[in-house]
Amino acid sequence: MKKIVWKLKVWSGKAFRMLLYWIYGFDQWHLFTLTERNYARDIIAYCNSRSIRNSFAEIGCGLGDILRNVKFTQRLGLDNDKNVLAAAAFLNKLYFKKNIRLGVFYFPESDFEGSYNVIVMVNWIHHVEPLTLKKKIEEYFEWFLQDGGVIIIDTVQDPEYEFNHNISFLTENVNCELVKIGDYERNREVWSIIKVKSK
């Protein structure tokens, strides 16, 4: 019975996404529903369990599945694909999500701004060269993350991906605690890089 309910959720979600895909013309990857993505659901649960939930940002937010489901006072979604952002804006209206801002952002070139409790960058950073990613993590950690806040990223260990990141290398220069949120298919690990409060 559980399996049937799961399948119904996935099929109905996919049919709706297919419709959006025809209208907005975004990448086919976004046909995957949130129901199918354990890592994303775990990130949502982790963020919603945090005690301070003022400001949340996701770079590479896609349709905003994570963004729409985290309970933060202010939410910002950034992506380099204006088609997927247009579809995300439609979904925000459909689900009456008023406190979500969206914007076009090209990592690593675009200037980031603001101050956040949580910054998420998952399921696309395997396209970013390690040293570039490391430098940006250091910059965001130092300038845009509040004390006690977290940057959430994923690492994969699979030769089919462009870059396999090493979490120790990426975080060796920041004063952080590391918590692993979970392990997923294709040796994907999702990490929370916690900014240790300054004394």
Give CA–CA dist 125/120, Å, rounded: 11
Q: For residues 2 and 185, which CB has a smaller minimum distance to ligand SAM in the complex? A: 185
Q: Would you say 95 or 106 has its CB closer to ligand SAM?
A: 106
Q: How many CB atoms lie within 10 A of CB 9?
A: 14
Residue 108 CB, shortest distance to ligand SAM, in Å, is: 7
- Which of 79/100 has CB closer to ligand SAM? 79
Q: What is the CA radius of gyration of the chain?
A: 17
Conformational region of residue 61, where left means phi above 0, alpha means psi within -120 to 50, and beta covers everything else: alpha
CA distance 99 to 62: 17
Residue closer to ligand SAM, measured from CB, 78 or 194: 78
Residue 173 CB, shortest distance to ligand SAM, in Å, is 22
Give the residue with the Cβ less far from ligand SAM, 142 or 162. 162
Q: Whole-number minimum distance, CB 193 to ligand SAM, in Å? A: 16
CA–CA distance, 167 with 199 (Å, rounded to integer): 25
Give the nearest distance from C-beta 124 to ligand SAM in angstroms. Answer: 4
Amino acid letter, 194:
I
Q: How far apart are the C-alpha atoms of 54 and 19, rounded to whole Å?
A: 34
Q: What minimum distance in Å lies between the beta carbon of 16 and ligand SAM?
A: 16
- Using CB under 6 A, list all residues that contact ligand SAM: 29, 40, 59-62, 65-66, 79-81, 84, 105-107, 122-124, 127
**53 vs 161, beta carbon nearer ligand SAM:** 161
- Closest distance between ligand SAM and the C-beta of residue 49, in Å? 19
Angle between helices 82-94 and 2-24 (to 10 degrees): 120
Closest CA to 63 of 112, 26, 98, 95: 26
Alpha carbon of 41 to those of 69, 127, 135: distances in Å? 9, 22, 28
